[in-house]
Homo-oligomer: A and B are copies of this chain.
C-alpha cells in the first residue's frame, strides 16, 4: 500500500477525528498514514472505573473509532465509514497515565474493510499492549447512507 495520503486529507481527518463522543472522551489523533491511524489520550479520573483501572469502554471506543479512521485513509472523500461490528480482548489491566491506539487496515475492500487495533498503556515511558480488537467496517457513499 502506498504510504502517503495528501496533507490536506490528513489534516481533514485529524480535524474530523475528535467530535461529539470522541471529544467528550478527549481522544486525539496522533499519526496518520495510508492504511494506518494512531490516536492517544491522557488518562484522567473520568476514564477510570471504581478500582482505578482504565475502563474497558474507553479502550473499546478508542479501538473502534481509530479503526474507523484507518479505513477513512484508504477511501475517497465522498465515502463514509460505518462500524458493522467489532470484537475486543482485554489482555492486561490498564492503569497508566496515557493510552495509545494503533489501527491498521488488514483487508482493503471496496465495501468491506477490516482493521485491527492495538491499544497500549503507557506507564513511565514504557508501553504495554492492553487490548486488541478486530473491527469490521463498511464504506458507504455519503449520499447512500443505508447499509
Contacts and interface: CB of A to CB of B under 8 A. Distances in A.
Interface residues of A, number: 52
B65 A91 contact: no
Interface in A1-60: 16, 19-25, 45-51, 55-58, 60
A138 interface: yes
A92 interface: yes
In this complex, which of A45, A80, A86 has the most chain B Cβ atoms within 10 angstroms of its Cβ? Answer: A86
Interface string A50-88: 110001111011101100000000000000101111111
A55 B95 CA distance: 25
Given A46-B23, A50-B19, A83 B90 contact: yes
Interface of A: 16, 19-25, 45-51, 55-58, 60-62, 64-65, 80, 82-92, 106-107, 109-112, 114, 116, 129, 132, 134, 136, 138, 145-147
